[in-house]
């Protein structure tokens, strides 16, 4: 695990756990921390790594409420996110612990720090960082972090590199539009929540793939194709397609006993 400077004063730290990527933006008078990691010990290790780069006061933001991005916050203190992120942590923290504590025991005792509502921008001294919500996508509350002077945008899990996008809490039909809006900022480098930094061309390809997944789900819902035909056409594995389908399936009205 090493700190990698992807642009002047913009750092990432790559982790073997879940191929996670966390971010740091350094200005003249402050720094911005992008996501806090899996649990309190993980967050403390991340905080220590930041202090090897800078001793400036930090502002902490969360890209979304999933444990691998948000459960390390106790090592930092106050954090900021979209209003929906706070609600999602309240609603899902216990479920996330139940689902993932077998693999990551530290989350069972990790204090869940509820974020304050994020401002539109953060002044780090000689560098302004823009915080945005491009619309529902990976979740309903995704936060992006744009560093205009460096041409870098932290996308959270709106973008995945090295693995298919995760659709468990997603809004598949809106996701491509969120990516399109995100790209309107014209970043040169996009940092995903998992995997290595990518270019806008990569994001465009992923947007096309998610659009194809949405189309296949719509055709499945209309009964135009069966699941095997959809899997054959899918840009992602069957599990990913079925996860997306679960987020788009239409509930048909129950038939009465007489068939009407």
* pLDDT of residue 112 exceeding 80: yes
Phi, psi of 48 (to 5 degrees): -65, -40
| pLDDT for 252 | 36
Whole-number Å distance between alpha carbons of 50 and 181: 30
Please state, rounded to an integer, the average pLDDT across all residues of the chain.
94
| pLDDT for 250 | 54
When pLDDT is averaged across residues 5-34 and rounded to a whole number, the result is: 98
pLDDT tens-digit profile of 194-209? 999 999 999 999 999 9
When pLDDT is averaged across residues 29-40 and rounded to a whole number, the result is: 98
| pLDDT for 142 | 98
How do 116-117 and 80-81 pair as beta strands? parallel
Per DSSP (E only), the strands in 121-198 are 121-123, 128-132, 144-147, 152-160, 189-194
Q: How confident is the model at residue 21 (pLDDT cuts 50, 70, 90)?
A: very high
In this prediction the pTM is: 0.94
Those residues whose C-beta lies under 8 Å from the C-beta of residue 92, and which sit 6 or more positions away, are 65, 169
| pLDDT for 257 | 33
Percent of the chain having pLDDT more than 70? 96
* pLDDT of residue 81 exceeding 50: yes
What's the start-to-end Cα distance of the chain, in Å?
62
* pLDDT of residue 8 exceeding 90: yes
Q: Beta partners for 12?
A: 4, 23
**Residue 145, SS3 per DSSP:** strand
3-state SS, 228-255, equals: HHHHHHCCCCHHHHHHHHHCCCCCCCCC
Domain 3-199 -> CATH class = alpha beta
pLDDT tens-digit profile of 154-165? 999 999 999 999
* pLDDT of residue 254 exceeding 50: no
| pLDDT for 249 | 78
Length of the chain equals: 260
When pLDDT is averaged across residues 76-98 and rounded to a whole number, the result is: 97
* pLDDT of residue 255 exceeding 90: no
| pLDDT for 258 | 34
With beta carbons less than 8 A apart as the criterion, state whether 60 and 33 touch.
Answer: yes
Give the residue carrying structure tokens 């750092």: 11
Whole-number Å distance between alpha carbons of 94 and 112: 10
| pLDDT for 2 | 83
């Amino acid at each position: 695990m090493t700190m990698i400077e992807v642009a002047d004063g913009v750092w990432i730290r790559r982790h073997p756990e879940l191929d996670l990527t966390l971010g740091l933006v350094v200005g003249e008078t402050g720094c911005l921390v992008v996501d806090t990691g899996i649990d309190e010990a993980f967050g403390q290790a991340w905080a220590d790594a930041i202090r090897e780069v800078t001793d400036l006061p930090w502002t902490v933001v969360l890209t979304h409420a999933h444990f691998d991005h948000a459960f390390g916050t106790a090592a930092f203190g106050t954090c900021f996110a979209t209003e929906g992120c706070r609600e999602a942590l309240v609603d899902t923290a216990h479920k996330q612990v139940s689902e993932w504590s077998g693999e990551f025991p530290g989350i069972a005792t990790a204090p869940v720090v509820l974020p304050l509502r994020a401002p539109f921008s953060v002044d780090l001294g000689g560098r302004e960082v823009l915080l945005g919500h491009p619309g529902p996508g990976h979740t309903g509350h995704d936060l992006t972090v744009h560093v205009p002077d460096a041409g870098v945008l932290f996308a959270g899990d709106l973008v995945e590199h090295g693995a298919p996008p995760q659709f468990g809490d997603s809004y598949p039909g809106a996701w491509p539009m969120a990516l399109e809006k995100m790209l309107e900022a014209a970043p040169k480098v996009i940092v995903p929540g998992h995997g290595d930094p990518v270019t806008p061309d990569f994001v465009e390809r992923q947007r096309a793939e998610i659009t194809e997944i949405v189309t296949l789900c719509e055709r499945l819902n209309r009964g135009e194709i069966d699941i095997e035909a959809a899997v054959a056409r899918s840009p992602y594995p069957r599990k990913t397609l079925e996860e997306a389908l679960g987020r788009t399936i239409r509930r048909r009205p129950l038939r009465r006993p007489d068939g009407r």
